[in-house]
C-alpha cells in the first residue's frame, strides 16, 4: 500500500473510531479497495471489543474493591500447587475419645456368614466406640407455680423471680442462646433454624417470636457489647475493615474492629471518618492495622500498619493491563522491596533489635522510591501512595504481635458477609443494632474459646437473679 493511501486510511479509521464517519469517508474507503476495507473493519472490531470489555468490568480500576467486580469477569484461580494437609511429621488432628461410656453392647456371630457352619469360640476381640445423638430429643416443659405473698412492711404483694427465662417469655435461656448463636454466630437463616428445632429437637418456634427474643437478648447483652468496644480501644493492636450492608434496602456499611481477644461490629450509614470518630472517642495508643482506605487516616493512632498483600495484589492487577517498560521496572522494584521485608520477618532468629540495621535499610529504600519521578500514570499513583504511607509499610518489623497483612480483620468480617448473603442484611434500625450486638458477643466468645450457649444462658440467669449482668468472661 502506497504511503499516501496509508495516510488516508488512517484518517478514515480514526474518524470511525471517534464515531464521526460520514458518507464522504465511506466512499473514499470504498475507492481504496477491498484490502483497505478489511483493515478498517478489523481496527473497528478490535476497538468495539475493548469497549465491551471495559463495560463488563474485565479491566477494572486497581482501586476497585474485589467484591464490586462481577464474578463472571474474574479469571479462574490457578490450581493448588501445595499438597493439602499438614506437613510431613506433624501430629494428626482427630477428635478425642469420649471420657465416659454410657452403654455397652456385645456382638458375636452364631454361625459363619460365609458357609453357615458352626464357629469355634476364640478369645480374640476388639472394642469400637460409637458416639451418636439420641433418636428422640424431647424438650423439657416445666410448669412453674409462683406464690405471691403480701408484705405488711412494704404493703404490697411480692413473688420470687423465675431465673430460667426472661419475663413473660415461654422459651428458656438455652433455646434463645442456641438459636441466636445459630443465626448471628454461624449464619444459619431464620427458616433453617425453625426447621432444625422442629424436626430434630421437637421444639415448635415462630419467626416473630424468635426475632423478638433475640432483640430482648441484645438489650440485655448491651453491657457486654460496650465492654468489648472498650477493651478493643485499649488493646495493643487492632485490625479494622468494612464491608457493604443494607438496612431496609438502603445502602450502609458494617465496620469490624478486631484482635485476638475482641471483635466489635458497627452498622452505620456512613463509610467515612465520622464512624471512626464515633468509635475512637480518644487517641488510640496501639497499632492500627488497615488497608489503604483514606478514612482511617482520621484516627489518631500511635502507630499504623498498612496491609502489604493489598499492595501486592494491586501490582498484579496493573501488570495485566500495563506492560510499559517503566511500569514493569517500578513494579519489580517495589515487589522485591515488600517481599524482602516479609522474608526478614519469617526468619527463625528474627528480633527487631538484632535486625535493626536491615529494618532501617528497608525504610530508606521506601523513602528513595517515594521521591522518584515517573511518566507512567500507574507508577506516579503508587509513588504518591508511598510518600503518604511509606513509613507504615514495615511497622510489623518493630512489633512481634503485628502482622504485615489485615487478613485477620478480613477473616472476622467474613461471617458477616456470609450472613448478609443468606439473610439479606437487616430490615430495620433495631434489627441492625441487634445484629451488631449479638455478632460482636458471639465472635468475641469464639475468640476466647468459650461455650457460647452456656456462657449466655448462665449470664441471663445471673441477670434475672441479681439485676446485673456479670462481666464478660475472659
pLDDT (tens digit, 9 = 90+) per residue, 217-254? 999 999 999 999 999 999 999 999 999 999 998 989 99
Q: Is residue 84 part of a domain?
A: no
Residue 323, all three cell numbers: 506492560
Asked if pLDDT for residue 19 goes beyond 90, the answer is: no
**What pLDDT, on the 0 to 100 scale, is given for residue 382?**
94
The CA distances from residue 366 to 12, 302, 373, 415, in Å, are 48, 21, 14, 36
**SS3 state of residue 397:** helix
- Residue at 297 is within a domain: no
Tens of pLDDT, residue by residue over 193-213, are: 999 888 888 888 899 999 999
Task: Judge contact between 403 and 396, C-beta under 8 A.
Answer: yes
Q: Which one, of 235, 240, 241, 228, lies nearest residue 286 by Cα?
A: 235
Q: How far apart are CA 272 and CA 298, in angstroms?
A: 9
Task: Supply the pLDDT for residue 3.
Answer: 56
- Domain extent for 24: 1-39
- CA-nearest of 65, 430, 386, 427 to 242 is 65
233: helix, coil or strand? helix
Q: Is 253 exposed, middle or buried (0-12, 13-18, 19+ CB in 10 A)?
A: middle
Residue 90, all three cell numbers: 506433624
Judge whether 383 lies within some domain: yes
Helix (H, G, I), strand (E, B) or coil at 469: coil
| Count of domains observed in the chain | 2
Can you state the percent helix, strand and coil of the chain, rounding each to 5?
Answer: 50, 10, 40
412 domain residue, yes or no: no
3-class DSSP assignment, residue 246: strand
Domain boundary among 366, 382, 397: 397
Distances (CA, A) of 92 to 17, 95, 130: 63, 10, 20
Domain presence at residue 265: no
* In-domain check, residue 356: yes
* 251: β partners: 246
Nearest-angstrom CA–CA distance, 329 and 240: 32
Last residue of a domain, one of 382, 397, 412: 397
Q: Is residue 72 part of a domain?
A: no
Residue 457 lies in a domain: no
Segment 376-405, tens digit of pLDDT: 999 999 999 999 999 999 999 999 999 999
Choosing from 361, 381, 397, the residue where a domain stops is 397
Specify the higher pLDDT residue, 35 or 376.
Answer: 376
pLDDT, position 57: 47
Amino acid at each position: 500500500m502506497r504511503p499516501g493511501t496509508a495516510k488516508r486510511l488512517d484518517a478514515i479509521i480514526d474518524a470511525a473510531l471517534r464515531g464521526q464517519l460520514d458518507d464522504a469517508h465511506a466512499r473514499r474507503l470504498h475507492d481504496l479497495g477491498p484490502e483497505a476495507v478489511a483493515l478498517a473493519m478489523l481496527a473497528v472490531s478490535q476497538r468495539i471489543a475493548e469497549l465491551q470489555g471495559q463495560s463488563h468490568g474485565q479491566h477494572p480500576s486497581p482501586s476497585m474493591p474485589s467484591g464490586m467486580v462481577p464474578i463472571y469477569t474474574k479469571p479462574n484461580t490457578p490450581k493448588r500447587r501445595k499438597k493439602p494437609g499438614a506437613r510431613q511429621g506433624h501430629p494428626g488432628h482427630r477428635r478425642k475419645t469420649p471420657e465416659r461410656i454410657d452403654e455397652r453392647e456385645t456382638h458375636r456371630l452364631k454361625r459363619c456368614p460365609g458357609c453357615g457352619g458352626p464357629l469355634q469360640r476364640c478369645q480374640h476381640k476388639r472394642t469400637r466406640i460409637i458416639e451418636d445423638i439420641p433418636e428422640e430429643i424431647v424438650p423439657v416443659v416445666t410448669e412453674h407455680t409462683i406464690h405471691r405473698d403480701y408484705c405488711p412492711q412494704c404493703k404490697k404483694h411480692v413473688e420470687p423471680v423465675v431465673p430460667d427465662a426472661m419475663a413473660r417469655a415461654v422459651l428458656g435461656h438455652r433455646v434463645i442462646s442456641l438459636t441466636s448463636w445459630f443465626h448471628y454466630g454461624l449464619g444459619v437463616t431464620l427458616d433453617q433454624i425453625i426447621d432444625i428445632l422442629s424436626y430434630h429437637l421437637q421444639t415448635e418456634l415462630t419467626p416473630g417470636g424468635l426475632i423478638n427474643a433475640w432483640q430482648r437478648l441484645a438489650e440485655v447483652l448491651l453491657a457486654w457489647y460496650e465492654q468489648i468496644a472498650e477493651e478493643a480501644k485499649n488493646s495493643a493492636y487492632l485490625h479494622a475493615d468494612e464491608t457493604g450492608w443494607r438496612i431496609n434496602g438502603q445502602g450502609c456499611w458494617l465496620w469490624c474492629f478486631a484482635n485476638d481477644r475482641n471483635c466489635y461490629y458497627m452498622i452505620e450509614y456512613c463509610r467515612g471518618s465520622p464512624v471512626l470518630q464515633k468509635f475512637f472517642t480518644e487517641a488510640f495508643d496501639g497499632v492500627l492495622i488497615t488497608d489503604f482506605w483514606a478514612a482511617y487516616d482520621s484516627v489518631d493512632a500511635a502507630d499504623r500498619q498498612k496491609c502489604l498483600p493489598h499492595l501486592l495484589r494491586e501490582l498484579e492487577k496493573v501488570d495485566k493491563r500495563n506492560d510499559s517498560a517503566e511500569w514493569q521496572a517500578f513494579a519489580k522494584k517495589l515487589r522485591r522491596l515488600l517481599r524482602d521485608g516479609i522474608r526478614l520477618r519469617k526468619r527463625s532468629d528474627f528480633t527487631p533489635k538484632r535486625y535493626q540495621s536491615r529494618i532501617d535499610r528497608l525504610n530508606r529504600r521506601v523513602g528513595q522510591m517515594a521521591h522518584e519521578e515517573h511518566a507512567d500514570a500507574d507508577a506516579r499513583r503508587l509513588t504518591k501512595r508511598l510518600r503518604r504511607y511509606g513509613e507504615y509499610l514495615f511497622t510489623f518489623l518493630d512489633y512481634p504481635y503485628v502482622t504485615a497483612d489485615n487478613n485477620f480483620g478480613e477473616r472476622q468480617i467474613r461471617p458477616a458477609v456470609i450472613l448478609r448473603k443468606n439473610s439479606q442484611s437487616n430490615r430495620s434500625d433495631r434489627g441492625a443494632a441487634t445484629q451488631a450486638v449479638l455478632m460482636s458477643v458471639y465472635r468475641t466468645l469464639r475468640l476466647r474459646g468459650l461455650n457460647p450457649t452456656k456462657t449466655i444462658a448462665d449470664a441471663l440467669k445471673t441477670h434475672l437473679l441479681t439485676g446485673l449482668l456479670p462481666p464478660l468472661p475472659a
